Structure 1
Amino acid sequence: MTDTRIYLSPPDVSDLERKLLLEAFDSNWVAPVGPDLDAFEAQVAELVGVRHAIALSSGTAALHLALVAAGVRRGDTVLVPSFTFAATANAVMYLGARPIFLDSTAASWNVDPGLVADELRSRAARGQLPRAVITVDMYGQCADYGPLLDACDRYGVALIEDAAEALGATYRGRAAGSFGLAGVLSFNGNKIITTGGGGMLVTDDGRVATQTRHLATQAREPFPHYEHRTVGYNYRLSNLLAAVGRGQVQRLDELIAARTQTAEFYRDALGDLPGLTFMPVADYGTPNWWLTCLLVDAEEFGASRDAILEHLGAQNIEARPTWKPMHLQPLFQDCVMRGGEVSADVFRRGLCLPSGSALTDEDRRRVVDAVRDGR
């Protein structure tokens, strides 16, 4: 096979990131502190429109500390969308709490606000309110925060926004990551921007920010010696990786524009095929088009989702199924699930196409031709 492999969502770095990284290296700030880390946090806080941003080793670390800030303890429950990556639910388990999984809405693939409100109402009547609600902004599209915040505020339950996939997206003009007690971002290698790994907790709450910084640096107390009064974590991002992030943030608009162009290309080139429907775009915001996803009706299209995946793989093109819902995962088989039909159907028929911001027109045509030929 001679065709270059097309990856699903590879890193897209430029000379700018290289320059900033080398400057940080030459300055000898090769540590989890430094001026690039401070500058990266300030950039992201301004971008998201919040007062505080704490750069961490991963988005999962940010989820963990956001749940700690919400007061989640062993034996508590947390409402979690079933349709998400495992990290969202794993962070709940770290604290000895139990996730209660909720289905998505077909209108956006995000958690169903009606189910959230119903579950909170039912649990309030039984005196069993969850400690927190986690929302997830799926594939770069925000959840419907109007009714979600109303429901959480009504019952005094903290909302944590898992915006790992959604930096640069908006909900009614407000940036992803800015909702609830805290927002969580990811800078994994496949995300809209990357530091090669890493994440960030963003918040307007000074208490949450102070607590997060403290816990992320092994909970060291302000003494000349090493004094510890609570369990902490080694969760801070390095200054070198933050330097890469600084360059990526400066290019965010460019990276979103490239992924938007890819999404439009696929919709124009494949939208006429029977049996293919793209992920719905809600009218309440703008996605960052992290991944372009579609559903496959095997009978109408003439091939199943899995058959298309196999054919794309044979053409040296990486594509993926959509997330397997948490309630279908062996790890969480004993957890409570409300609904499930929507997320199970999206998983059964869902396909994520290559969406990287460095895709060329030739790459996009190869993907389109492979999908068309896969019938």
Structure 2
Amino acid sequence: MPSIYLSPPDISARDHASVDAVLTSNWVAPVGPALDAFEAAVATRAQRKYAVALNSGTAALHLALQILGINSGDAVVCPTLTFAASANPICYLGAEPIFIDSERRTWNMDPELLEEALKTHDNIKAVIVVHLYGQCAEMDHILELCARYEVPVIEDAAEALGASYRGRPAGSMGTFSFFSFNGNKIITTSGGGMLLANERDQIERARYLATQAREPVAHYEHKAIGYNYRMSNLLAGLGNSQLTDLDRRITTRKAHFDAYQRALGNIPGIDFMPIAETNAANYWLTCLTVDPVISGSSRDSILAALAQADIEARPLWKPLHLQPIFQNAKCFGGALATQLFDRGLCLPSGSNMSDDQRQLVIDTIRYEWL
């Protein structure tokens, strides 16, 4: 059996045809009709008015922070249990990241600790909320707090396209939101991202900055520092096709989660990531924790057994307050995120993984207890 990967691209004949159509049109330059269509389709899915497609989710966050006026001397709040790209753009602008621990119900940002940070730091100018592993954070509480302190919210929905929170799509709730279409995400454009908002002038400013801040004149005129951040029309052709398959992918990934939970959930010491709303997550990755005292095994021994079977699995995100580059950053709490990292792993969850492949993953893990 070939290698089983964590979350590989799921490419169909329809995807090939969509990209082929763009190639046939010869419209492979940075902008074009496929790009316009992709922006409109994602905005509709996220119930947003405006969107601009970019070359990464990191670029989207960088632009959002810049448009909000973040600069040196400011602080920006971010969860500690996330990928470094959720915090790096804060540093691009010379601002200070402040990290917040997880809460147990969703593993996302703890609103109680967020309130503590907002109370004690008067230089917080934005809050980045990450919807971790395809499940939304406790947005009602977080949005209420940020409104009270007059701090804008940026939704890092990089992992959460197709998820929802109490009937509202992931990416519909902050001042800004963004998605990632990296190769391991639930849909992919190879590399790419998208920034969304409900204010036209904010997205037009992002579009301007993302195209080298070129002025609308015949020659090349620049009145601001810009970036080469736009997605290409060719990659958008892949995105348009992938997006039409999003609901099937969510259904398939949920089936993986359910099968893993049925097969492994009765093993003492194994606990799956809690899902607050069963039909609201997009189940991007199936995540679990292993208590070494109760189970008699460990996260690392399971990872080693899977690797021996040529199965890719990963630890949960290493908390940012434990990363060497952020060792001097302020963190509110941190114990839960640290425990989740020490015990947690992500299992293969791709929408093109077969039932036989999934069973091999299950059998390999269960063998640890035979």
Q: CA deviation at 1:283?
A: 3.5
Structure 2 residue 23 is matched with structure 1 residue 12:
no
Partners of 1:187 and 1:195 within 8 A in 2: yes
Counterparts of 1:215 and 1:323, CA distance in 2: 31
2:91 aligned residue (90, 93, 107): 93
Of residues 280-289 and 257-266 in structure 1, the stretch that sits farther from structure 2 once superposed is 280-289
Partners of 1:172 and 1:284 within 8 A in 2: no
Partner residue in 2 for 1:48: 46
Count how many residue pairs are aligned between Structure 1 and Structure 2.
Answer: 369
Counterparts of 1:130 and 1:265, CA distance in 2: 43
- The one-letter amino acid paired with 2:187 is I
Partners of 2:76 and 2:127 within 8 A in 1: yes
Partner residue in 2 for 1:211: 205
- Within 5 Å, give how 1:18-97 maps onto structure 2: 18-97=16-95
Partner residue in 2 for 1:272: 266
Q: CA deviation at 1:374?
A: 2.3
Q: CA deviation at 1:285?
A: 6.6
Deviations along 1:332-372, whole A, 9 cap, x unmatched? 00111110011000000001000000111101100000111
Counterparts of 1:195 and 1:17, CA distance in 2: 10
- The one-letter amino acid paired with 2:37 is A
Structure 2 residue 146 is matched with structure 1 residue 152:
yes
Structure 2 residue 241 is matched with structure 1 residue 247:
yes
- The one-letter amino acid paired with 2:18 is L
- Within 5 Å, give how 1:198-347 maps onto structure 2: 198-283=192-277, 286-347=280-341
- The one-letter amino acid paired with 1:328 is L
Counterparts of 1:348 and 1:74, CA distance in 2: 34
- The one-letter amino acid paired with 2:116 is D
Structure 2 residue 346 is matched with structure 1 residue 352:
yes
Partners of 2:80 and 2:102 within 8 A in 1: yes
Counterparts of 1:207 and 1:80, CA distance in 2: 25
- The one-letter amino acid paired with 1:315 is A
Counterparts of 2:201 and 2:137, CA distance in 1: 25
- The one-letter amino acid paired with 2:184 is N
Counterparts of 2:110 and 2:92, CA distance in 1: 25
Partner residue in 2 for 1:118: 116
- The one-letter amino acid paired with 2:203 is A
Secondary structure of the corresponding residue to residue 286 of structure 1:
coil
TM-score (norm 2): 0.98
Q: CA deviation at 1:75?
A: 2.0
1:170 aligned residue (144, 160, 164): 164
Counterparts of 1:137 and 1:130, CA distance in 2: 20
- The one-letter amino acid paired with 2:46 is V
Partners of 1:63 and 1:184 within 8 A in 2: yes
Partner residue in 2 for 1:133: 127
Deviations along 1:13-41, whole A, 9 cap, x unmatched? 10111101000001010111011000000
Counterparts of 1:121 and 1:107, CA distance in 2: 23
- The one-letter amino acid paired with 2:59 is A
- The one-letter amino acid paired with 1:141 is Q
> What root-mean-square deviation, in Å, do the aligned CA atoms of Structure 1 and Structure 2 show?
1.0
Counterparts of 1:118 and 1:325, CA distance in 2: 19
Counterparts of 1:129 and 1:147, CA distance in 2: 21
Partners of 1:275 and 1:300 within 8 A in 2: yes
Partners of 1:171 and 1:285 within 8 A in 2: no
Counterparts of 1:45 and 1:302, CA distance in 2: 47
Counterparts of 1:342 and 1:275, CA distance in 2: 16
Counterparts of 1:219 and 1:206, CA distance in 2: 17
Counterparts of 1:44 and 1:308, CA distance in 2: 37
Partners of 1:187 and 1:199 within 8 A in 2: yes
**Structure 2: gaps spanning 5 or more residues:** none
Partners of 1:7 and 1:318 within 8 A in 2: yes
Counterparts of 1:183 and 1:164, CA distance in 2: 9
Partners of 1:76 and 1:98 within 8 A in 2: yes
Partners of 2:73 and 2:123 within 8 A in 1: no
Partners of 1:170 and 1:286 within 8 A in 2: yes
Partners of 1:172 and 1:285 within 8 A in 2: no
Deviations along 1:162-210, whole A, 9 cap, x unmatched? 0000000000000001111110100000001000110000111212111
Structure 2 residue 366 is matched with structure 1 residue 372:
yes
Q: CA deviation at 1:76?
A: 1.0
- The one-letter amino acid paired with 2:128 is I
